[in-house]
Chains A and B, each alone.
Chain A
Amino acid sequence: MAEIIIEKGGMLTTIQDCGRHGYQRYGMPVSGAMDLPALQTANTLVGNSAGAAALEATLTGPEILFRGSCESASSDNFLQTLIDNFHPVTLCTIIAITGADMQPCINGRPIEMYRPVKVNSGDRLTFTGLKNGCRTYIAFAGGLDVPMVMGSRSTYLRAKIGGLEGRPLKAGDVIPLGSFTNLAGNKSSPKITGIIPDYQTKRPIRIIPGPEIQRLDFEGIRTFLTTEYTVSANSDRMGLRLDGQPIHIKGAEGHDIISSGVSFGTIQLPGNGLPIILMADRQTTGGYARIANILTEELPRVAQLKPGDKINFASV
């Protein structure tokens, strides 16, 4: 059987899938990958279903040692014997890396992103350093075989559930890989280019006005749509806090609302006038004015912003 051994955890590496749906009425956050299309693409490249559990690494990558052999469910003993006898190395799994470019290497040699890569038992995956973006996804053929909690393998750190014991990965962790039959990563699969997102574009993030947009006066809306905001260091999987020009709100109604539902990409305006973008680990409800929502297709670019990066908004 195949498994991965975490030799270094990286800054924040967690197991994520497409999230825990259906429990928000009980106050249960969805969680899941911050950059969902990147997770789905990585899974597809290794022949997994798009929502299989993979790793999400933040700002710095983990170091991973591969061990064991993939147990192809359809492999017969004769074939296995041939492989054992004539192949000097044991295929462990197939990986694909998407999202932020942290310059991945196998045994010190750079590998391409957005492409399935075969890895053998004893190989080591490392990352040289972040070139762009914020979050890298590493998918493994067969997926990460951790227990399903309420329909998902996603880690939700605050409640310490999902993933591996509900916590970030650290050195010494061993995670079994699921078995797979579909050898999607055979030698000459072309690098996929059409689906590699351009995280670097400076195009404004497109928004749809939210239910409390009318609490902004003309000046407030102008500030919101013309200011270049900076992502604060105080941002995490729950939300991105922005620094910059505070947005003015009309007198009477204020910033607070009766606690109500929020979504992935809801932009809240708390009392200090600085917007907060709600992300994967957001609480299900919030008490601040919901001035706008980011379009779903723009969320990957937002998920790939790191502290200090700039962001501005445009209404669709």
Chain B
Amino acid sequence: MLKYFPSGDSAIIVKASDQISVEINNTIRRLLTRVEMESIPGITDFIPSYNELMICFNPSLTGFHKLVDTIRSLEPSIADIHLPPSTLKEVPVLYKGDTLEEIGPDLEDVARFNKLSVDEVIKIHSSATYLVYMLGFTPGFCYLGGMDSRIAMPRKESPRLKIPEGSVGIADKQTGIYPIESPGGWQLIGQTPLKLFNPNRQPEFLFQIGDTLRFKPISENEFLKLKQEQ
């Protein structure tokens, strides 16, 4: 069931499947928990994703075959790992500002594209629960599952050069939050005042793999107040 690949001579890829599903992602999380419990010497980092776990190691301390043997021996006990219940975290979002015109510049386009009203888009986006399948792309960026396809829209044809941190966007059937200012092609429907990533805070990252998120519409006043508190 688990497949092992070398990623060069300093990392190993453990692959659970070729599909995306909550169950497969849970297997990856169990595997991560199980391997971490062993405190195997030489391991330097982990990169869990939808269907894989990458284990980075120092090649002078361990090697591919040694790690494969160790993890294979752990395989039977992976199913017994009890994952903690997923914490539901609320993400306040200002979808459209009264005076802040730069917030959610594509909200009306997403509504028009899907033949919905702006309020309906907000309602649909903020009533679902989203699972953090993995993080990647930029520090603190969450790959979320669970968006309603009624508000799906393709990426913009030409990406923006600068998207402000906290922007909430839609790309095809995905939704996500830009943790740091970066270029990007997502349709921007709002902004959160939360700092998803702050290197000078503990914890540095607000969300982790396995969390569930829910977006909560807030007013411009609340947005400005929360932004100041960050």
Chain A positions near chain B (C-beta within 8 angstroms)? 21-30, 149-150, 158-161, 208, 210-211, 258-266, 283-285, 290, 293-296
Q: Does chain A have a CB within 8 A of B159?
A: no
Decide if A265 touches B139 in the complex (CB within 8 Å).
Answer: no
Cα distance A128–B137 when bound, in Å?
A: 39
Decide if B6 touches A208 in the complex (CB within 8 Å).
Answer: yes
With A24-B47, A28-B139, A260-B13 given, is the CB distance from A285 to B134 under 8 Å? yes
Decide if B9 touches A29 in the complex (CB within 8 Å).
Answer: no
Of B15, B49, B136, B140, which is in contact with the most chain A CB atoms at under 10 Å from its CB? B136
* 11 pairs from A and B in contact (CB 8 Å cutoff): A23-B45, A26-B140, A27-B137, A28-B205, A208-B6, A208-B9, A211-B13, A260-B51, A261-B49, A262-B7, A296-B9
With A22-B45, A24-B56 given, is the CB distance from A261 to B140 under 8 Å? no
- A-B pairs, 7 with minimum CB distance: A261-B54, A293-B8, A285-B136, A261-B47, A27-B135, A211-B5, A26-B205
Q: Measured between C-beta atoms, what is the minimum distance from A268 to chain B in Å? A: 12
Decide if B8 touches A294 in the complex (CB within 8 Å).
Answer: yes
Complex partner residue of B54 from A29, A263, A265, CB under 8 angstroms: A263
Decide if B47 touches A150 in the complex (CB within 8 Å).
Answer: no
Decide if A285 touches B47 in the complex (CB within 8 Å).
Answer: yes
User: How many of B's residues come within 8 Å of A, CB to CB?
Assistant: 44
Q: Measured between C-beta atoms, what is the minimum distance from B118 to chain A in Å? A: 30
Q: Measured between C-beta atoms, what is the minimum distance from A21 to chain B in Å? A: 5
Of B7, B9, B197, which is in contact with the most chain A CB atoms at under 10 Å from its CB? B7
Decide if B47 touches A25 in the complex (CB within 8 Å).
Answer: yes
Q: Mark B8-36, 1 if CB is under 8 A from A, else 0.
A: 11110101001010000000000010000
Chain B positions near chain A (C-beta within 8 angstroms)? 5-11, 13, 15, 18, 20, 32, 44-54, 56, 59, 134-141, 143, 179-180, 182, 197, 199-200, 204-205, 208-209
Cα distance A27–B5 when bound, in Å?
A: 21
Decide if A285 touches B49 in the complex (CB within 8 Å).
Answer: yes
**Chain B positions within 8 Å of A208 at CB level:** 6, 8-9
With A149-B199, A159-B197, A261-B52 given, is the CB distance from A23 to B136 under 8 Å? no
**Chain A positions within 8 Å of B5 at CB level:** 210-211
Cα distance A285–B54 when bound, in Å?
A: 10
Complex partner residue of B11 from A29, A263, A294, CB under 8 angstroms: A263
19 new A-B contacts, CB < 8 A, other than A159-B139, A258-B18, are A24-B45, A24-B56, A25-B46, A26-B208, A27-B135, A27-B139, A28-B140, A30-B45, A150-B204, A158-B138, A159-B197, A211-B7, A260-B49, A261-B49, A262-B54, A263-B54, A264-B8, A283-B136, A283-B137
**Chain A positions within 8 Å of B199 at CB level:** 149-150, 159, 161
**Chain B positions within 8 Å of A26 at CB level:** 135, 139-140, 197, 204-205, 208
Cα distance A260–B10 when bound, in Å?
A: 16
Q: Measured between C-beta atoms, what is the minimum distance from B2 to chain A in Å? A: 13
With A24-B46, A161-B199, A260-B54 given, is the CB distance from A295 to B8 under 8 Å? yes
Cα distance A266–B143 when bound, in Å?
A: 22
**Chain A positions within 8 Å of B10 at CB level:** 263-264, 296
Nearest to A265 among chain B residues (CB) is B8
Decide if B13 touches A261 in the complex (CB within 8 Å).
Answer: yes
Q: Measured between C-beta atoms, what is the minimum distance from B133 to chain A in Å? A: 9
Total A-B Cβ pairs within 8 A? 128
Q: Measured between C-beta atoms, what is the minimum distance from B204 to chain A in Å? A: 6
Decide if B136 touches A259 in the complex (CB within 8 Å).
Answer: yes
Cα distance A295–B182 when bound, in Å?
A: 31
Nearest to B209 among chain A residues (CB) is A25
Decide if A25 touches B8 in the complex (CB within 8 Å).
Answer: no
Q: Measured between C-beta atoms, what is the minimum distance from A305 to chain B in Å? A: 18
Q: Measured between C-beta atoms, what is the minimum distance from A315 to chain B in Å? A: 13
Q: Measured between C-beta atoms, what is the minimum distance from A211 to chain B in Å? A: 4
**Chain B positions within 8 Å of A159 at CB level:** 138-139, 180, 197, 199
Q: Measured between C-beta atoms, what is the minimum distance from B139 to chain A in Å? A: 4
Cα distance A210–B199 when bound, in Å?
A: 33
Cα distance A24–B18 when bound, in Å?
A: 22
Nearest to B46 among chain A residues (CB) is A25
**Chain A positions within 8 Å of B13 at CB level:** 211, 260-261
Q: Measured between C-beta atoms, what is the minimum distance from A59 to chain B in Å? A: 24
Decide if B8 touches A296 in the complex (CB within 8 Å).
Answer: yes
**Chain B positions within 8 Å of A259 at CB level:** 49-50, 134, 136-137, 143
Complex partner residue of A293 from B6, B134, B135, B204, CB under 8 angstroms: B6
**Chain B positions within 8 Å of A262 at CB level:** 7, 54
**Chain A positions within 8 Å of B180 at CB level:** 158-160
Cα distance A22–B51 when bound, in Å?
A: 20
With A159-B180, A261-B13, A295-B9 given, is the CB distance from A29 to B139 under 8 Å? yes
